[in-house]
Amino acid sequence: MDYRKSPAPSTTVTRNLDNLTQETGNIYETVIVVSRRANQIAVEMKQELNKKLEEFASYSDNLEEVFENREQIEISKFYERLPKPTLIALQELEEGKIFFRNPEKPSRQK
């Protein structure tokens, strides 16, 4: 998924708990679903960032090292400005894009 185009806000937003718990019926279950999805998103974003930073990796000391570091810094700053994984996961939950299942409650699936 392309997280750069996510409509998730980049800052914390007050949310209605009733809307968040509609699917699960339980705020704690909702928190677990969102946290697991946020962990998945964080891992994907970290892998993508590391892949991009490896392109600029230099194993020799030279004068161009300062320029390469500048590029790495710009890429890192771009990823820092993206919405946080938790905010993206909450946005996905609100839009109904998260599939989850509770083995103890097979009738409550999305």
Distance between CA atoms of 51 and 85, rounded to whole angstroms? 18
pLDDT of residue 32: 93
pLDDT of residue 64: 55
Distance between CA atoms of 102 and 79, rounded to whole angstroms? 33
Q: Is the pLDDT of residue 56 over 80?
A: no
- Whole-number average pLDDT of the chain: 81
pLDDT of residue 68: 57
Q: Is the pLDDT of residue 12 over 90?
A: no
Token couple for 62: 């030279």
The burial of 65, by beta-carbon neighbours within 10 Å (0-12 exposed, 13-18 middle, 19 or more buried), is given as exposed
Distance between CA atoms of 78 and 95, rounded to whole angstroms? 25
C-alpha distance from residue 1 to each of 13, 35, 42, 92 (Å): 22, 17, 12, 12
Q: Is the pLDDT of residue 34 over 90?
A: yes
How confident is the model over 35-55, as a mean pLDDT? 91
The total of other beta-carbon atoms located within 10 Å of residue 48's CB is: 14
How confident is the model over 90-110, as a mean pLDDT? 77
pTM recorded for the entire structure:
0.76
Distance between CA atoms of 97 and 8, rounded to whole angstroms? 13
pLDDT of residue 65: 53
